[in-house]
Structure 1
Amino acid sequence: MTSSADSVDAVAEQFVEVGLRFQNHDPLPYIYLGPEQRRQAAKADPQPLAATLSDIRALRERLAALPATDDLLEQRRRRDLAERLVAVQTRGEILNGQPPASFDEETQKLFGVQAPHYSEAHFRELVAKLDRLIPGKEPLVERVASFRDRFIIPRDKLDRVIGRAMQECRARTSQQFSLPSNEAVKLNLTGDMPWVGFTEYKGDSQSIVHLNHDVPVHIERAIELGCHEGYPGHHVHALLIEDRLIKGRGWVEYNYISLVGPLAVVAEGAASFAMELAFTRQERMQFERDVLLPLAGLSDEGLETYYHYVDLIEQLNYARNEAARKYLFEGMPRQETIEWLMEFGLETAGTAATRLNVIHAQRSYVVTYNFGRTMIANYLKSKGQIGTPESWQHFHQILTTPLSPRDLLPTTTE
């Protein structure tokens, strides 16, 4: 129940506190930009998950009970905060053994979207194209692995190659965005993690990008990771949120950003599209041929064919959604799901097993990458040619407004 003194600011403050307590029960990473003593106090709080969920439901009721406002920006803020509360509550219910009834219901509650369904026939058609592209008589998954392994960046050169790619991504982004003079990204090679890369934003325009050296990183991922994790992806997005929303507008709820909520689709979608915004296809190939491949000590032989392969593999990305749907909600056993990913995602047994580990930990989060990217790409392409100053301005608006999926999708209802 709300009081006459209640406000969206008060609910937002409480959301951060409850969110930090919630993280005691959720192993997924999150961003926190407020005072460290507040985080430590939350860590020391023994409140059980059921009580935290009760607090989240109470915050939803308080937010809904606030007097109506004619301020459009305030309306958007309330809407976004309400959707974030629904997402955290849903995640908590999942952790409590009460998942939604279906994959689509889960993605709707967690991220505010429902990704398209694709049949096995769709993936078989794409696999057939790859079968014609990659020569040889061995099983296709073996031919693909052998062909692709020619472009693995040696582990002892990862830091140099990824660092140089990120430097170029930064240079191109700084031509379009005004970046703080003190901003910086530090690379940290780590291992035994269920992801390839993760950006830990530390505040004050500083980030640590953690790269998992246990996962083979192929040459096309260098620019992708540099743009996705750094510029104009997660690092730039986080510093803009801190500058424009927290400091500029006083929207304290953005001091706590969990891995669920509609913002996740926008963030991952924008980061996944960042490379295409910063580089044309030809620019990317030339930079890889002239700079990155020599740094990695790799040959550029077969690079054109490799790019056709990358195009098809990108379309097979949606197979991961279907694997998650089958594994989480349709009872497909682990080994069978791994084999399904090998057949329709053309992943090796080891990569497919790692992929399934990610799905097991993050569940339907997989849609934020592929459907998020499709959503951002379609929105920006509807505004004009990609790579122009105007498209960069629209991208900047996506990062700073903030916009949610319902604002970006062509046909949505309030």
Structure 2
Amino acid sequence: MNRRLTWTLASLGLLLGLAIAGCASERPSVRPPQLTMDQISELYIKQALALGEHDPNLVDAYYGPKDWQAQAKTRKRTLIEIRNVLVRLYQDIDSAPTDTSVQPELWNLRRRHLRNQIAALEARTRMLEGWKPSFDDESLALYDISAPFYGQEDFKPMLASLDRMLPRGGGTLTERYNRYLERFTVPPNRVEEVMRIAIGAARERTLQYFRLPEGERFELALVKDKPWSAYNWYQGDFVSRIEINTDQPLTVARALELAAHEGYPGHHVFNVLIEDQLVRGRGWKEFTLYPLFSPQSFIAEGTADYGIELAFPRAARVALIKKLMAVSGLNPGEAETYDAVVQATKLSGAATVEAARRYRDGQADAAQTLDWLQTYGLATPERAQQRLEFFDRYGAYIINYAFGEAVVGGYVQRSVGESEPDYARWRALFDLLTTPRTPQMLMAE
């Protein structure tokens, strides 16, 4: 029996047991009335908001009815109360009446997406109650997928290639790499200007292929003392607040990556299109709430990372790097070599996932994890410490980045074909951003 099927059967058994236990002391004589999908959607939102009172990291964005949020704050509900409702919603969603005005395929996508979101909330509730899953079990429970394993041998070709590309000098390979990157650091007094130029360029590229609703915009803020390098806080009404953490130096290439990931065609565009197409267009209220620890994050992070390459293929990327270098007072003549070095380190994302798995599963302590992150993730000591703090706070969430990008990229390629022009890939990404999908569906299709 495969790992995923074993986990799924065990989870369904647990859900059934919980439902029986919840009814044992007070068994109703009449079954509760059948819930519609919209009623399930509303109850799902209310459970997520209630759970957010126990877990401040859970609710990443919410722009639904304000009184639902107020109720969650004034009437604190226990974890078992929340979980009992989630169990019922999970059981009832398959029998919810079908809306015949919606295409059957699309309606089933909505049903499957919402079922997975409910299951993730129930799993997160159990974690808050004390359940401590393995890294992979947490990945499956919260994100509907688990990342492949990597060993030290998998990263040696990357390190060997990087060794050949970097200037010679003293120190370890990671130290040489980071010394090289330091040459392309954006001066602190130019960070905001560089980020605005990069986001503007990403927006311009995206608008060549996507029509976004009138009034969409972003607010940019520079922050400190965060375990992440950047964050998009979606406000609703087609507005995002993009925060850039200035604790660590910002390189030119990283500015470009964050512009696409947090802005266009990444998180900002994803949230704008969801609000426009699914919330306002179809009235599906469940999308007014984004629970961070859910399969939706795998889609969000995977599409955002994939969007970097889509928005900036090599020629466009190098052109923007040259522009950002000039604004930063750096030498644009080094842009092509610099870009080649950065692109050669792509596998360091997988190394970071593996570091998190080993650390969270107790196979490596903090010191060993910091060493792994510096050796195979090519991180500076400061960046490695920041990533360790990320693992402590967000657990298996790290799989959603590099692995999410790989899965989304594979899905788009299978949907379009390698010989198709760029606009076909943009169209496939648009469909993915505006249609409910689950991570397992991206693997299967």
So what's the TM-score if we normalise by structure 2? 0.87
Q: Among residues 22, 44, 47, which one is paired with 1:15 in the alignment?
A: 44
Alignment CA distance shift 1:205-1:69 (3 Å): closer
State how far apart, in whole Å, the 2-side matches of 1:78 and 1:405 are.
Answer: 14
Q: How does 1:91-130 map to 2 (within 5 A)?
A: 91-100=124-133, 102-130=134-162
Q: Among residues 334, 345, 354, which one is paired with 2:386 in the alignment?
A: 354
Partner of 2:74: 44
Q: Given the alignment of the two structures, is residue 403 of structure 1 paired with residue 437 of structure 2, yes or no?
A: yes
Q: Among residues 268, 271, 275, which one is paired with 1:242 in the alignment?
A: 275
Q: Say whether the 8 Å CA contact 1:104–1:115 is kept in structure 2.
A: yes
| Shift in Å, 1:88 | 1.4
SS of 1:314 mapped into structure 2 = coil
Q: Given the alignment of the two structures, is residue 304 of structure 1 paired with residue 336 of structure 2, yes or no?
A: yes
State how far apart, in whole Å, the 2-side matches of 1:97 and 1:212 are.
Answer: 32
| Shift in Å, 1:5 | 4.5
Alignment CA distance shift 1:306-1:77 (3 Å): same
Q: Among residues 424, 428, 433, which one is paired with 1:394 in the alignment?
A: 428
State how far apart, in whole Å, the 2-side matches of 1:136 and 1:387 are.
Answer: 43
Q: Among residues 369, 374, 378, which one is paired with 1:342 in the alignment?
A: 374
Q: Among residues 193, 197, 203, which one is paired with 2:226 in the alignment?
A: 193
SS of 2:401 mapped into structure 1 = helix
Q: Among residues 288, 294, 300, which one is paired with 1:267 in the alignment?
A: 300
Q: How does 1:100-249 map to 2 (within 5 A)?
A: 100=133, 102-134=134-166, 135-249=168-282
| Shift in Å, 1:64 | 4.2
Q: Say whether the 8 Å CA contact 1:184–1:207 is kept in structure 2.
A: yes
CA RMSD of aligned residues (A): 1.9
Q: Say whether the 8 Å CA contact 1:219–1:293 is kept in structure 2.
A: yes
Can you give the 5+ residue segments of structure 2 that lack an aligned partner in the other structure? 1-29
Bigger Cα Rg: 2
Partner of 1:295: 327
Q: Say whether the 8 Å CA contact 1:200–1:208 is kept in structure 2.
A: yes
State how far apart, in whole Å, the 2-side matches of 1:203 and 1:51 are.
Answer: 29
Q: How does 1:370-385 map to 2 (within 5 A)?
A: 370-382=402-414, 383-385=416-418
Structure 2 letter corresponding to 1:358: F
Structure 2 letter corresponding to 1:93: R
Q: Say whether the 8 Å CA contact 1:241–1:400 is kept in structure 2.
A: yes
Partner of 1:58: 88
Partner of 1:31: 61
Structure 2 letter corresponding to 1:399: L
State how far apart, in whole Å, the 2-side matches of 1:350 and 1:202 are.
Answer: 31
Partner of 1:283: 316
Q: Say whether the 8 Å CA contact 1:197–1:210 is kept in structure 2.
A: yes
State how far apart, in whole Å, the 1-side matches of 2:401 and 2:246 are.
Answer: 21
Q: Say whether the 8 Å CA contact 1:200–1:207 is kept in structure 2.
A: yes
Structure 2 letter corresponding to 1:168: A
State how far apart, in whole Å, the 2-side matches of 1:115 and 1:167 are.
Answer: 33
Partner of 1:84: 117
State how far apart, in whole Å, the 2-side matches of 1:214 and 1:53 are.
Answer: 38
State how far apart, in whole Å, the 1-side matches of 2:198 and 2:210 are.
Answer: 18
Structure 1 letter corresponding to 2:294: G
State how far apart, in whole Å, the 1-side matches of 2:145 and 2:282 are.
Answer: 27
SS of 1:30 mapped into structure 2 = strand
Bigger mean CA offset, 298-307 vs 206-215: 298-307
Alignment CA distance shift 1:68-1:235 (3 Å): closer
State how far apart, in whole Å, the 2-side matches of 1:13 and 1:159 are.
Answer: 39
Can you give the 5+ residue segments of structure 1 that lack an aligned partner in the other structure? none
Bigger mean CA offset, 372-381 vs 54-63: 54-63
| Shift in Å, 1:93 | 1.9
Q: Say whether the 8 Å CA contact 2:321–2:335 is kept in structure 1.
A: no
Which whole-Å deviations, capped at 9, do the CAs of 1:263-298 have from their partners, x for residues lacking one? 211111111011211122021112211x21111122
| Shift in Å, 1:10 | 0.5
Q: Say whether the 8 Å CA contact 1:197–1:211 is kept in structure 2.
A: yes
| Shift in Å, 1:162 | 0.6
SS of 1:211 mapped into structure 2 = strand
